[in-house]
Amino acid sequence: MSFPDERFCSVALFTDAYFEQVRAAACTVSRPKLQAAADILARVYGDGGTVFSCGNGGSAAIANHLVLDHCKLIQTDTKLRPRVVSLSAAVEVIAAIANDIAYGEVFRYQLQSMAREGDALITVSSSGNSENIVAAALWAKEQGIPVISMTGFSGGRSAEIADVNLHVSADNYGVIEDMHHALMHILAQYIRQSHMDEAVIRERTF
C-alpha cells in the first residue's frame, strides 16, 4: 500500500501523517552518496564546466529552480562561478524537438549540442523511467559525463545508469518531489558554505 491508504477526516491529521512520510523519506537518502554528488558538482563548478539539469512535470520545476540556487546562490560570497543550464526551461526548443523528432529526445538532443568534457548532468525523475531522462543519462554516460540522478519509488533505469543515485524511498509523488527539492537546496547550500570564510557564514542568511 502507498500513502495515503485511508481517508483522513481532517487536514490536520493528514498534515501530521504527510510530514511523517517526509521525515521517514529523508532518513533513507544516502549521506555518502550526497557527499559524492556534492564533490562532483563542486569540481565541475571549480573547473569552469557546466551542470545540466532536466526533469518532467514537477521534476522540471525542480530542474529549473536548481539553476537559480546553484548559479546565483553558490557564487555569492565564494570564488566559484557556476555555469548551470536546465534542459527543461526552453519550451520552444523542447516543442520543436518533440514535434520534429520525438519527446523522448528532448533532453539528449540538447545535450549533444551543448555538453562537453568536464560537465555533469543531474536528472530528476520520481519513477526514474521517463524515456527522455533515460536517453539523456545514457548519452552522458557514453561521453564520460558524470550523471547524478534523483529518484523515488523503485529507482527505475536512471538509478542504474547514474554514477551517483540520490534515491528517496517513498511511494508518494508529493513526498518524493519535496525531498528532491530539498536535496537540490542542500547541495547548493553545502557547496556554498564550504567555499565561504567561516566569519562570513555567520553574517549571512541562507
Distance CA 61, CA 114 (A): 21
Q: Does the pLDDT at position 87 exceed 90?
A: yes
pLDDT in tens, 18-39: 999 999 999 999 999 999 999 9
For cell 564520460, the residue is 144
Q: Is 173 exposed, middle or buried (0-12, 13-18, 19+ CB in 10 A)?
A: middle
Residue 1 binned pLDDT confidence (cut-offs 50, 70, 90): confident
Output the average pLDDT for the chain.
97
Position 43 scores a pLDDT of 98
pLDDT in tens, 95-153: 999 999 999 999 999 999 999 999 999 999 999 999 999 999 999 999 999 999 999 99
Can you list the domains of the chain with their CATH numbers? 30-197 (3.40.50.10490)
Position 199 scores a pLDDT of 94
Please give the share of the chain, as a percent, with pLDDT higher than 70.
100
Position 131 scores a pLDDT of 98
77 is written with which cell numbers? 560570497
Distance CA 154, CA 170 (A): 9
Position 33 scores a pLDDT of 98
